[in-house]
Each structure stands twice: as structure tokens, then as C-alpha cells.
Amino acid sequence: MSKSEATGSNITVSDLEVMSEAENYRNWMYRQISPFIGQRILEVGAGIGNFTSLLLDREMVLPVDKYLPCVEHLQERLGHHLRVQPRQVDIADPVDQVLKDYRFDTVICMNVLEHIADDLSALSNMRTVLVPGGKLILLVPAFQFLYGTVDRSLEHYRRYTKRELLPKMLRTGFQVEKAFYMNFIGMAGWFVNNRLLKWREESASQIGLFDRFVAPWAERIEKLVPPPIGLSLIAVGRTR
């Protein structure tokens, strides 16, 4: 691993450890995508398993990550629960036949695509491992005007809108089934911290307060009134 990759993995693991405490927010994201999740899952960019832990009731889940420290953390944390052991995979590289042989019906990619320079190649690679009619579930950070210091620290190349993401999904062989924004209220905090205060890391105390006091009622409000914009964009595609 190069020095830059080691630095990137350290920052990523640190951020994921902070986010591991955001149980309400994580469950909110899960409820948003659970209707689309099948039984044979490839989780791309699984990190330290924060989301993987919600998928253990499925027939099979294979968590993969680019960074070896994340894979090792996954193995230690969840290896005894998994039917298939975590693997080090960079989804930007061509996919090997072993992954294709698993015949996944779902690929879940949460807050990962923004880390990949050539996101079109990554989307194409994810399509190749899915069976016909399989689902790709993406969650990405939304709106470039929010791009700031934490995005740079986490090595994000971009943030997305529907106008930018959905054509890329179509170009790489997916039919778009659904796309929507979530976490409208979170945009304000992200803008202040990243664009005005220029913090370089997410605040564990802020995330704790948001998770405990804001996320539960924000989810209820957005269920009643889906927001036109949000901190994150979720898109679901199906292979043709």
C-alpha cells in the first residue's frame, strides 16, 4: 500500500468509527433501501461493517473494500457471522470471474462512488456481477455546492445530483427504478461545518446529537413530505 493509500485508509477508518455510533441514522438509511434488497448481496466499499451488520439475515452477503485495514476490521468484527469472508476488492478495477460466479441479485454501494475517479467504469463493473434483473442500490453525497473540507479529507472527487448520476447509470446498462434525496436538514450543518468553519473531520459530538435528537423526527417528516433536495441521493437501478 502506498503512503497516500495508507493515509486515505486511516482517514476512512476514523470517519467510519465516528459514524458507527449513528445507529438511528444508519437504520433510517436501511429503511429507505430495504424494499429493494435481495438475498445475494455484494456490498461495495463495506468499510468496517457499519451497514453490513444490518444484512446478516440474507442468504449471502459478501462485503468488499479497497483498503486492507477495512477488510481486516471486517473480518475481526463480523467474520464469524458471514457465509462468505470479506475480500479486498477495488471496484474501479476489472472484476474477476470469482465475483461473477456468485450471481449476486443485489449490489449495495453506500457513500463509495464519490471516492472513485472513473465512476463510469465502477458502475460498469458492478453491473457485470449482477444477474439479469439484479438491483444496484447507490447512496451518494448530493450537491456540489456543499463540497468542502471534509469531502477533500475523505478524498471525494465529487457530489452528485439526479441530473448527473442517472445518465451515468443509463450509460452503464441500468434502468433507473427510483431516485430520491434524503436528509434535508443535514444540508445546513454540512454547509456550515465544511464551507464556513472549514472543519477537516466530522464531529463525533455533533453526529451523536444529530442521531439522537434530529434523525428520528427528520425521518418521520420526510416520509410524509419527501424533500426535493437533501444531503444524500439514493438511486436504484436494475440490470436489463
| Separation between Cα atoms, residue 61 and residue 40, nearest integer Å | 6
Quote the CATH superfamily of domain 3-239: Vaccinia Virus protein VP39 (3.40.50.150)
- Please say whether the beta carbons of 45 and 110 come within 8 A: yes
- Tens of pLDDT, residue by residue over 40-80, are 999 999 999 999 999 999 999 999 999 999 999 999 999 99
Residue range 121-143: mean pLDDT, rounded: 98
* Residue 15 confidence (pLDDT): 67
| pTM given for the model | 0.93
For the chain, counts of helices (H) and of strands (E)? 10, 7
Q: Strand pairing partners for 175?
A: 238
| Separation between Cα atoms, residue 53 and residue 48, nearest integer Å | 10
Can you give the C-alpha Rg of the chain in angstroms?
17
Q: Is the pLDDT of residue 3 over 50?
A: no
The domain spans of the chain are 3-239
